[in-house]
Structure 1
Amino acid sequence: MKLFLLTIGIVLFADYGESKTPKQPNIVMILADDMGYQDVGFRGSNILTPNIDKFAKQGVILENHYVMPQCSPTRASLMSGRYAMRTGFWKGNIIPNEEWGLRLNETLLPEMLKRNGYATHGIGKWHAGMYTWDHTPAKRGFDTFFGLYLGAQGYRSHKRSGHVDLREDYHDKDGKFVDDIKFDLEGKYSTYLYTDRAVEKIETRDKTKPLFLYLSYTAPHSPNDAPDDEVKRFASQIPSSPKQRRKYATQISIMDEGIGKVMKTLENENMLDNTIIVFTADNGAFYGKKGSNFPLRGGKLSLFEGGVRAVSFINSPLLNTTGYTNTNLHHVTDWYATFQKMAGDQPEKYSKPQLPLDGVDIWESVSNNKPCRDEVLMNLRDHKMIQDSSEHEFLVKRDEFDLEEDFGELGDDEFPDDDACDFFVIRWKDWKLFKGTYKVQDWTNKNSLSDAKFDRSEDVLTGGGGTGSGIKLFDLSKDPREEHNVADKHPDVVKSILEKLPGYMKNMTKINKRTRSKEGMKGNAWVPWVENKK
């Protein structure tokens, strides 16, 4: 049976005609965490990813699939179908103990699919809010959830700052919510656990319903940890410098092997003929460390291509055209609109209002290689949109504390954003424009991460507000590495793009200031600490 994949992991049950959208498919979405653009075999990496390579080549590689430059914002956009400037995640990641998350008026992807008859299961990393129980995944549309609420944890301890954050959440036969914290799984490597749980959910699924499986691996996010025997098995070909690279490579290879097991289970269950599978990373690898985004500029936290153009593919026998690289413009918000149409959702039938979507239905684009959009907002940030409030939603002001002391076991992959930065970054057709202030990251050489170039003469894109001042424009069709600022040569293009800014600003969500709380660390575990408002 021929295997076909879809970039974030989607499994479908549907009859499909040449121009017909699949109806009520099974959907399997697979996310990697902080994975480099170049760190797959089909891009020439020496990291072993035979399963990803196979399924990507048999399906459609999505070359211009954009995400956000950090974990929480990408997940919020995937779950809501909306840009970060609408969800409030324009500010960046949720840091542990912060009292905000995806607002409860958002109809999330699993919630939308569930009301259309899907069985919905979430596995792995949530990172979209946990300060109240109502913000946790099994209260946001997932029938079951197995994984972590926060953004990272020890791969074997399952702890963040000494407290466990690995749990199984569900509603029992009487409808009572159960949060079963898995203290007994200490020592078990989390990537294996997530794969095994995905296999189990496929094998024990309710066969009367289409399946939505969200498999959100934490690999290869920090901490830099992999079993020694697996490092020998997977990474002996990786140079020993930089020293983190071998374990990083092993983290990816273990995930890749898990994806192969999931696909084999789908085959054994006779599901592949009616399945769409999508795989994507949530952002690029952390710049200049263990991962490689070559040949792109920058990495995680950066709005340069290496931070926001994710390694992605889609595979399904329902695709009309396969075995090629699709260069159409796509964004992580698009999957919501695409799956909504497949599910046959009629949002007007429900009392909860449908908030405006930014994503578009991209099925014809990925299936028949038809263009679907010419514009993607990378992000918009404006500190005038932060307001004082005593309410719990969107609390962004961090207490001053030593991150290394509190969260040192995770290294330097997570830290607050620079509050001094306001910016507007957008891609329109082949043009990409930066306006405002934003930290610059440069390039990693192909064969040596230790030779990453840092241009200290230009730490920020300066200015903002003046005519041409503080503006950079790149022509990605000629300059995919974003090396040459051509703003002065194309003032008409700059003017046209900047005219779009007021339209985005009027739809931007205000967020509130508030300090963090540490009340969520109780009884050796992370638990919600704010009472739900009814």
Structure 2
Amino acid sequence: MLRHFFAMAAMLFVVVVYGQTKPNVIVYFADDISAREFPVYGSSVWSDLKGQATNDPELRARTPVMEQLAKEGVVVKTAWAATICNPSRAMMMTGRYAHIHKWWHNRDRGSYRDQNGRPLTWPLYESSPMLNGHIAQKAGYGTYWAGKTQMAGDLTRFGFDEGCFTPGNLSDTDNPFTDFKHIVKKKNGEKVLINADTGKTCKSYQQHGWYWFPHVRLMNDPSAPGAFSWWPNSDESKASFGINTYGPDVELDFVFDFMDRQQKTGKPFFVYHTTHLGHDAFDWFFPESPCKWPGAPMVSWDGKEYTRTQPQVTGDAGKYETHGTITDPGIHNHVSYIDYQIWLYLNKLKQMGLDQNTILIIAADNGTSGYGKGSPERQKGCHVPFMIYAPGIKFTKAGMQDVLLSIADVWPTLAEVMKVETPQGYEINGESFWSWLTTDQQQHRDWIYTHKSEKQLVRGKRVMKDGFGKWWDVSETPDDLISFRQITNWEAESTEFKDERDRLLQTIKPFDLHAIEHDAPGFNGEQNK
């Protein structure tokens, strides 16, 4: 009862001071970034240009804004997502694990039959008809989705009023405004990738430009007719669009425009910003580059504010000159650009007078490419950064918190903050962390869980089982965040360790349905792998 009282008191603080019962919420969900890449986690190593461990200070991200937020807000020491993009985003949007939504891995997603009997990937709005966007809409929020989607099905059915996708899906191949894309062709009987910018074959995975000269598709934008439209869509935007246009900047411009328009309605907003920043990509400016992460616009911090250098790239057909206006490659520069974008968010909220009535969550979907992405080893693939900042709401916690948290916990937290009840009988696997943030509650949860296809990972406060069935002592955190002591002789371990192991094995049993309930209920056919 006391916890609920304090949680209500924290919300009442917002009501009395700011005259609004529901705070705005921004979820900034970065792509393929391990916790070790954020300096606030204090790792002794981070990723070099190919994703391997380094302690080179020149390859360390600079994040002065997030480091300040980490002191004033909350950083979660051990937050888990899935081991790769698709199931992690499913976990975030549904608050559920794959035994329900069936998104087991990127190329291992459950199937269903559509109304025409065709076997297709089971969309999340079919398996889980109350997604995070739906929660916000039900609570009276305006909702916006920016960045990449990686979602199967109709994007208008996920609970978002509007969107800006850069690009949303690889199926969007007909963009007339940019040739930064790969085209699949047959050459000597084999499929090859052609760089549309140069006309030459290239070694990569098929992708469109989501950083420079990006593919931008708008959803329900008031400036364009129809549900979906390409951008640029005006004489002015067409004149300015080109190789100097940076996708993450475009996303933020549209998000800010939405926030301005939403404020005029007097209703709160929910922004789900699934940025590409952190994801490796083909470098269209330097097609032969061996580095995973193309350079970003240059930004510099003077101790009080950021200055961004306007990109001045010239050239064509794979031969470009950046004129010193773009950073060197590397994920550290992507993380630094995230810091710059968070600074822009904070400035925008202050300008709007909403900084004291907005909750900002910063997280990522899985581990860094080359290090953890897709890996079920220890917690390489699932240990992600997680920060919460809300200066107008009185948290009882501040700084780094040694607790366990799942990306699935965001869904029930949104429901609690937005005052939306979960339908009776509707299974949610996440647990709201709001009471933990706003009361004297010391711990959030006793265990966290994730998976890679049939491989299950689970961690308590003392021991962890990875996807290979190996057990690790996690009672202490090593300097590199990963070199835990392996447990090979249980007879030599304490009763507390063995008891927790047994509890964890029992806890994850209901989720172990990959082999027997892989697809949508009633689906008969080949698995969609």
TM-score by length of 2: 0.66
- Range that drifts further, 32-41 or 355-364: 32-41
The answer to whether the 8 A contact 2:141-2:267 is kept is: yes
Provide the secondary structure at the position in 1 that maps to 2:431.
coil
Q: Take 2:377 and 2:83, find their aligned partners in 1: how far apart are those partners?
A: 6
Kindly state the Cα deviation for residue 474 of structure 1 after the two structures are TM-superposed.
1.1
Deviations 1:470-515 (A, max 9, x none): x421120136534432152245554443333433336985227659
Which residue identity lines up with residue 331 of structure 1 in the other structure? S
Kindly state the Cα deviation for residue 323 of structure 1 after the two structures are TM-superposed.
3.5
Provide the secondary structure at the position in 2 that maps to 1:426.
strand
Question: Identity of counterpart residues, as a percentage?
Answer: 19
Kindly state the Cα deviation for residue 41 of structure 1 after the two structures are TM-superposed.
3.5
Partner of 2:294: 225
Unpaired runs of 5+ in structure 1?
A: 1-11, 236-243, 289-297, 383-422, 439-460, 462-470, 518-534
- Range that drifts further, 163-172 or 77-86: 163-172
1:335 aligns with 2:374: no
Partner of 1:26: 24
Alignment of 1:107-146 (within 5 A): 107-129=130-152, 132-133=153-154, 136=155, 138-146=156-164
Partner of 2:3: none
Unpaired runs of 5+ in structure 2?
A: 1-9, 43-56, 110-118, 184-195, 197-207, 209-213, 233-237, 282-292, 302-306, 310-326
1:314 aligns with 2:413: no
Partner of 1:104: 126
Which residue identity lines up with residue 367 of structure 1 in the other structure? T
1:498 aligns with 2:496: no
Provide the secondary structure at the position in 1 that maps to 2:331.
helix
Partner of 2:246: 189
Provide the secondary structure at the position in 2 that maps to 1:38.
helix
Out of 166, 171, 180, the residue aligned to residue 216 of structure 2 is: 166
Out of 257, 270, 277, the residue aligned to residue 212 of structure 1 is: 270
The answer to whether the 8 A contact 1:169-1:180 is kept is: yes
The answer to whether the 8 A contact 1:60-1:323 is kept is: yes
Deviations 1:227-284 (A, max 9, x none): 575699999xxxxxxxx97432222222221211111000111101111111011112
Kindly state the Cα deviation for residue 356 of structure 1 after the two structures are TM-superposed.
0.6
Which residue identity lines up with residue 144 of structure 1 in the other structure? E
Kindly state the Cα deviation for residue 333 of structure 1 after the two structures are TM-superposed.
0.8
Provide the secondary structure at the position in 2 that maps to 1:204.
helix
Which residue identity lines up with residue 36 of structure 1 in the other structure? S
The answer to whether the 8 A contact 1:336-1:359 is kept is: yes
The answer to whether the 8 A contact 2:84-2:373 is kept is: no
Q: Take 1:504 and 1:191, find their aligned partners in 2: how far apart are those partners?
A: 36
Kindly state the Cα deviation for residue 190 of structure 1 after the two structures are TM-superposed.
0.6
The answer to whether the 8 A contact 1:94-1:127 is kept is: no
Kindly state the Cα deviation for residue 336 of structure 1 after the two structures are TM-superposed.
0.8
Q: 1:195 to 1:72 in 2, by over 3 A?
A: same
| C-alpha RMSD over aligned residues | 3.8
The answer to whether the 8 A contact 2:460-2:500 is kept is: no
Alignment of 1:261-410 (within 5 A): 261-288=344-371, 298-317=372-391, 318-348=393-423, 355-368=426-439, 370-379=442-451, 381-382=453-454
Kindly state the Cα deviation for residue 201 of structure 1 after the two structures are TM-superposed.
1.9
Partner of 2:487: 486
Provide the secondary structure at the position in 2 that maps to 1:192.
helix
Deviations 1:192-244 (A, max 9, x none): 11222222222222442111011111012111222575699999xxxxxxxx9
Q: Take 1:251 and 1:263, find their aligned partners in 2: how far apart are those partners?
A: 19
How many residues end up aligned between the 2 structures? 401
The answer to whether the 8 A contact 1:326-1:366 is kept is: no
Q: Take 1:173 and 1:153, find their aligned partners in 2: how far apart are those partners?
A: 20
Which residue identity lines up with residue 162 of structure 2 in the other structure? T
Partner of 1:83: 97
Provide the secondary structure at the position in 1 that maps to 2:384.
coil
The answer to whether the 8 A contact 2:376-2:452 is kept is: no
Q: Take 1:373 and 1:262, find their aligned partners in 2: how far apart are those partners?
A: 30
Provide the secondary structure at the position in 2 that maps to 1:485.
strand
Kindly state the Cα deviation for residue 313 of structure 1 after the two structures are TM-superposed.
0.8
Q: Take 2:361 and 2:126, find their aligned partners in 1: how far apart are those partners?
A: 26
Which residue identity lines up with residue 113 of structure 1 in the other structure? A
Partner of 1:68: 82
The answer to whether the 8 A contact 1:277-1:314 is kept is: yes
Q: Take 1:380 and 1:31, find their aligned partners in 2: how far apart are those partners?
A: 20
Kindly state the Cα deviation for residue 14 of structure 1 after the two structures are TM-superposed.
6.3
Q: 1:99 to 1:424 in 2, by over 3 A?
A: closer
Q: Based on CA coordinates, which of the two structures has the bigger radius of gyration?
A: 2
Q: 1:246 to 1:172 in 2, by over 3 A?
A: closer
Out of 229, 241, 260, the residue aligned to residue 203 of structure 1 is: 260
Which residue identity lines up with residue 89 of structure 1 in the other structure? W
Which residue identity lines up with residue 363 of structure 1 in the other structure? W
Provide the secondary structure at the position in 2 that maps to 1:499.
helix
The answer to whether the 8 A contact 1:30-1:279 is kept is: yes
